[in-house]
Amino acid sequence: MGQVVKAINVPNVTTNFYPVSTQDWELKQMPFKASQALADGGAVGIEIVGNTVTGNLTVMGLENAAGADFVGILAERIAATDSDYATAGKLKAVWMPKNMHSEALFTVTAGTFTAVDVFKTVEITSGSLGLSVDTAGKGARIMSFISSTRGTCRFVMPNTETA
């Protein structure tokens, strides 16, 4: 079983995406694509095969180009050593936003981040673990600047739109 990120006492805050306030996010068990590793704090979306959704979630960065919308933030890692790694539909904990105002901490994984980037809409990086702050896209909207490597964002726009 993966390592669950829980909001009890001092949370195990990942360096990737993480809810700013767990009151604005709901922790749910969701089905996942088979044979795909992802660190906790990774953005996840709907798996699309051809023009059909499978009902499973997958790495957001891989599905963004295919038109999948953001669903949530993985709260536990998926590793190749997990006993259910190759199982489609395996259930994993996912932080799901309760509304469009739910904010998450993010890590800058590409680009130079400064305070002037606040309110830009940018891409989720291909590894789903942060934002490309210099790349216009419909992945997330930056809401605040914390440091050159951290900020907060909202996932308020569908990724099916183009930048």
Over the stretch 104-145, which tens digit does the pLDDT of each residue have? 999 999 999 999 999 999 888 888 899 999 888 778 899 999
Over the stretch 43-60, which tens digit does the pLDDT of each residue have? 998 887 777 778 889 888
Nearest to 17 by CA among 161, 137, 139, 99: 139
CB atoms within 10 A of CB 135: 15
Helical residues (DSSP H) of the chain, grouped into ranges: 60-63
Nearest to 141 by CA among 162, 118, 114: 118
pLDDT of residue 63: 47
pLDDT at 7 over 80: no
Over the stretch 67-104, which tens digit does the pLDDT of each residue have? 567 899 999 999 999 999 999 999 999 999 999 899 99
